Chains A and B, each alone.
Chain A
Amino acid sequence: AQTVTQSQPEMSVQEAETVTLSCTYDTSENNYYLFWYKQPPSRQMILVIRQEAYKQQNATENRFSVNFQKAAKSFSLKISDSQLGDTAMYFCASLSGNTPLVFGKGTRLSVIA
């Protein structure tokens, strides 16, 4: 069974600063995918970034990047130059095989002006 753990229920960051959200996972599969989803208050969940486990290079999407440590089963999200619009719940998720996404419990990020 897959598990995803987010150990930071809440975090805050000053506007324009950098913040890192932690995520660890556990899976017995060799091939799997990892995701970070963002859920702003009262708005839909959207995909921020994804990582294929077979790729060693860390994924980046503009201000968002990941630090994927496969041996440690760690998948942290770094947000650079934080903006007020980044305020949201962030969910780490994994999937493999034909099983649906497994989500972590989420981290509530507040960006402070």
Chain B
Amino acid sequence: DAMVIQNPRYQVTQFGKPVTLSCSQTLNHNVMYWYQQKSSQAPKLLFHYYDKDFNNEADTPDNFQSRRPNTSFCFLDIRSPGLGDAAMYLCATSRDLLGDSNQPQHFGDGTRLSIL
């Protein structure tokens, strides 16, 4: 059974049109992460939530926002997508901040975002 679920698998939006990607988890993990992965590149962390505490990476553009209304759900909002934002977006969870344990991150299948 899928433990980290991302919807949709494929998302197409227009240049400049806001888009929201969703992630849910059944693991009851404290931490949820959003990564951007462009073709043949490593995932790049955008931000993560530890419970309700939001942690933004320093180089994450302001165009990217996130919401975590409860433990199970986390959303990635792209306010004005540009062509350079076309990528795979990966959601991941971990029980704790990984430095506190050796629990691995659990990844979703990802949402591939295309910009027209």
Cα A108 to Cα B41 with chains together (Å): 10
Interface string of A70-113 (1 = CB under 8 A from B): 00000000000000000001010001111111011110100000
The reply on A15 being an interface residue by CB < 8 A is: no
Residue of A43, A52, A95, A97 contacting most chain B CB atoms (<10 Å): A95
Chain B contributes a number of interface residues (CB within 8 A of A) equal to 21
Shortest Cβ distance from residue A14 to the other chain B in the assembled complex, whole angstroms: 23
Contacts between the two chains (Cβ within 8 Å), count: 49
| A45, B102: Cβ atoms closer than 8 Å | no
Q: Which 4 pairs of residues, A with B, have the shortest CB-CB distance? A: A103-B42, A45-B107, A47-B104, A97-B99
Residue of B at shortest CB range from A31?
B99
Give the A interface residue count (CB, 8 A): 24
Asked if A16 is an interface residue, CB under 8 A from chain B, the answer is no
Interface residues of A (CB under 8 A from B): 9, 33, 35, 43-47, 50, 52, 89, 91, 95-101, 103-106, 108
Contact (A103, B48) CB under 8 Å given A33-B98, A44-B109, A52-B102: no
CB-CB under 8 A for A104 and B98, given A44-B107, A44-B110:
no
Q: Which residues of A contact B4 (CB under 8 A)?
A: 44
